[in-house]
């Protein structure tokens, strides 16, 4: 099997009450999952990797302000359109649940544990 493009979905702001330290910890969990997926031969993506710089360039001052809200979910959904699958990590997250729902509607694979992510042979 060749590598897939896999969106990592899980909590980013959920459960943080806007605390930047907790948000950063959630991002670390997403990035740990991304590394695990990469090590299985795939290319992982996290929506915030694309959405946060776009929102900042558009004038966002803080995560959760109106400008960042304009970008967060739409960016993830555009990425998801191009992904082969979603890896849903643990933790309550409305956005991640929405990513899973869309992935299933669009006929994409949804992995809920790392063991479900197939090992692939990277092309390079």
> What does the alpha-carbon distance between residue 87 and residue 117 come to, in Å, rounded to a whole number?
8
% pLDDT > 90, the chain: 93
54-99, pLDDT tens digit by residue?
A: 999 999 999 889 999 999 999 999 999 999 999 999 999 999 999 9
* Predicted pLDDT of residue 117: 98
pTM beyond 0.85: yes
DSSP β-bridge partners for residue 5: 43
* Predicted pLDDT of residue 121: 84
- Determine contact, residues 50/82, Cβ cutoff 8 Å: no
Residue-range domains of the chain with CATH? 5-115 (3.40.50.10400)
> What does the alpha-carbon distance between residue 92 and residue 65 come to, in Å, rounded to a whole number?
21
Q: Mark out the alpha helices in 1-105 (DSSP H runs).
A: 20-39, 47-57, 66-82, 94-105
> What does the alpha-carbon distance between residue 100 and residue 121 come to, in Å, rounded to a whole number?
25
* Predicted pLDDT of residue 22: 96
């Amino acid at each position: 099997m060749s590598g897939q493009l896999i969106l990592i979905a899980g909590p980013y702001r959920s459960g943080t009450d806007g605390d930047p330290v907790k948000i950063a910890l959630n991002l670390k969990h997403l990035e740990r999952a991304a590394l695990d997926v990469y090590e299985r031969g795939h290319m992982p993506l996290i929506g915030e990797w694309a959405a946060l710089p776009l929102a900042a360039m558009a004038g966002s001052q803080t995560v959760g302000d109106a400008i960042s809200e304009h970008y967060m979910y739409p960016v993830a959904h555009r990425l998801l359109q191009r992904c082969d699958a979603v890896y849903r990590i643990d933790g309550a997250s409305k956005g991640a649940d929405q990513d899973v729902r869309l992935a299933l509607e669009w006929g994409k694979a949804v992995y809920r544990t790392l063991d479900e992510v197939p090992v692939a042979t990277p092309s390079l």
